[in-house]
Amino acid sequence: MAMSTGGNSGGPMSEINVTPLVDVMLVLLIIFMITAPLMTHRIKIDLPKANPNVKEEVQVEPMDVAVKEDGSLYSGDAPVTEAELKNQFAVAANKSPQPEIQLRADRTTQYKTVRKVLGFAKDAGMVHVAFLTTGNSKE
């Protein structure tokens, strides 16, 4: 209960009543004092140990496919037909992990030829395709 000593007894009080604030702070202090030790409790478990001698990922040699301006196809540096390229894609698609196709196309090659090679790869089930280009050159 707030009381005023002297002065204008009929007017409003200008002091803040801090009693409810102190009560709330003491309750919060008690709650934190009880719950803080419970939060530091740790569960002990026996974790497995990693074997540093095991390699995580096997590196697979990528397939290099080149398409020239006239539509001729090359696997690596050897010329191939469309049927041979389809067979190579089918064999590579069954490997685990699957190799990446690195596709190099001449700048003036028609896109329909490149799209046809991508269709062969998709039909075989290949999912990793990269397009190789030249870097920035100052011309």
What would the two tokens of residue 29 be?
Answer: 């202090």
In this prediction, residues 86-114 reach a mean pLDDT of 91
| 40 vs 45: CA distance, rounded Å | 16
Read off the pLDDT of residues 30-68 as tens digits, 9 standing for 90 and up: 998 988 877 776 777 777 677 777 666 778 899 999 999
| pTM, rounded to two decimals | 0.56
Q: Between the CA atoms of 108, 113, 114 and 118, what dihedral angle is there, to the nearest 10 degrees? A: 180
Per the CB < 8 A criterion, the answer to whether 100 and 73 are in contact is no
